[in-house]
Structure 1
Amino acid sequence: MSDLVFIAFPTEEKAEQVRRQVLALQKEYLIELGDAVVAVKTPEGQIKLNQMINMTAAGAASGGLWGTLIGFIFLMPLFGTAVGAASGALAGRFTDVGINDEFMREAARALQPGTAGLFLLVRRMTTDKVLADLRGVGGTVMRTSFDETKEAALREALAQCAGMSEPKTAAAAPA
């Protein structure tokens, strides 16, 4: 069973930084992700999703390869490449893998304009090590399917300063 986590960040750069950090943890086999998407709410209020995998480009590449192969059979490789790439790109455009795009757009409407959020579809993780690595990165948990204890531990880890047990407060921030 996978868990969904949605964390809001003040900037797109911060959300991307945390996504890279989580992807590095995946390379260490501490977490297994089904998807990791950064959602950005523009100052105009539009929602932009930065997917891990560009399905349109992947579909175009795959379709182009198959179109070329089929085009060679009929002695029309350029035509086959063009038709294959176009149909692959179209199929990739309408393919949704991982977290449902409409769900993410709906949830991201809660973000303030000019901010971003990170959606994580967590298949499994070594909770204590992942939370220790995320300690102090900031962010606000907007939604999660974790149980109450895991959600509270995540909120605490995001709020803590690295190496300290006290939550970061506005008064304690350096001027």
Structure 2
Amino acid sequence: MSTLIAIVYPTEAKAEEVRQTLLGLQREYVIRLGDAVIATKAEAGKVKLNQLLNTTATGAVSGSFWGLLIGVLFLNPLVGVAVGATSGALGGALTDVGINDAFMKELSASIEPGNAALFLLIQEMTADKVLKQIQGFGGIVLKTSLDETKEQVLRDALQGHSGEAGSALPA
């Protein structure tokens, strides 16, 4: 079962630094992320999502390839690429993978302008090692799917308390 955690940071740069740290831990097989999205709120109140995976671009590239292949079969590769890229981009834009975008935007509406919320969908992790790496960054827990005890351990770790940081979080 996956765990959802949303942590608010004072800047987008700080949230990105934490996300890159977690992606580094993922390369070391300490954590397995299903998604890691940064949401920022502009002064005007508009929420912007910084996704790891751009489904529109991925769809366009994939569609271009298949369009080229089909276009070659029908002796018109340029039209095939154009149609494939357009349909792939449209399909990618309509695809939502990982954490629900509407949920993230709704939750991010409550943060202060200029702040950033890091949304994590964690599939597996070695909790003590992860907490040890992120505790120096600070942050405020906005929402989690953890039980109260584990959520408090996370809050304490983000505030810099040393205690038994990893003992109560899921492995």
Partner of 1:89: 89
Alpha-carbon separation, structure 2, partners of 1:32 and 1:107 = 23
Q: In the TM superposition, what is the alpha-carbon distance from 1:149 to its structure 2 partner?
A: 2.0
Identical columns (%):
58
Q: In the TM superposition, what is the alpha-carbon distance from 1:165 to its structure 2 partner?
A: 3.4
Amino acid at match of 2:28: E
Alpha-carbon separation, structure 2, partners of 1:138 and 1:45 = 24
Partner of 1:23: 23
Partner of 1:170: none
Tell me the alpha carbon deviations over residues 37-91 of structure 1, each in whole angstroms, 9 at most, x when there is no partner.
0000011110000000000000000000000000000000000000000000000
Normalising by the residue count of structure 1, what TM-score does the alignment of the two structures yield? 0.91
Tell me the alpha carbon deviations over residues 7-54 of structure 1, each in whole angstroms, 9 at most, x when there is no partner.
001101011111101111111111111000000001111000000000
Alpha-carbon separation, structure 1, partners of 2:14 and 2:45 = 19
Partner of 2:132: 132
Q: How does 1:16-165 map to 2 (within 5 A)?
A: 16-160=16-160, 165=162
Q: In the TM superposition, what is the alpha-carbon distance from 1:94 to its structure 2 partner?
A: 0.7
Query: Which ranges of 4 or more aligned residues in structure 1 deviate by more than 3 Å?
Result: none
Amino acid at match of 1:85: A
Q: In the TM superposition, what is the alpha-carbon distance from 1:150 to its structure 2 partner?
A: 1.6
What residue ranges of structure 1 are gaps of 5+ in the alignment? 167-175
Alpha-carbon separation, structure 2, partners of 1:123 and 1:110 = 26
Partner of 2:13: 13
Q: In the TM superposition, what is the alpha-carbon distance from 1:152 to its structure 2 partner?
A: 1.1
Tell me the alpha carbon deviations over residues 111-163 of structure 1, each in whole angstroms, 9 at most, x when there is no partner.
10111110000011111111111122111000000112221111111110xxx
Alpha-carbon separation, structure 1, partners of 2:116 and 2:57 = 24
Worse-superposed segment, 62-71 or 15-24:
15-24
What residue ranges of structure 2 are gaps of 5+ in the alignment? 164-171
Alpha-carbon separation, structure 1, partners of 2:49 and 2:132 = 27
Amino acid at match of 1:124: E
Alpha-carbon separation, structure 2, partners of 1:31 and 1:165 = 21
Calculate the aligned-residue CA RMSD, in Å: 1.1
Q: Which SS does the other structure have where 2:29 is aligned?
A: coil
Q: Which SS does the other structure have where 1:34 is aligned?
A: strand
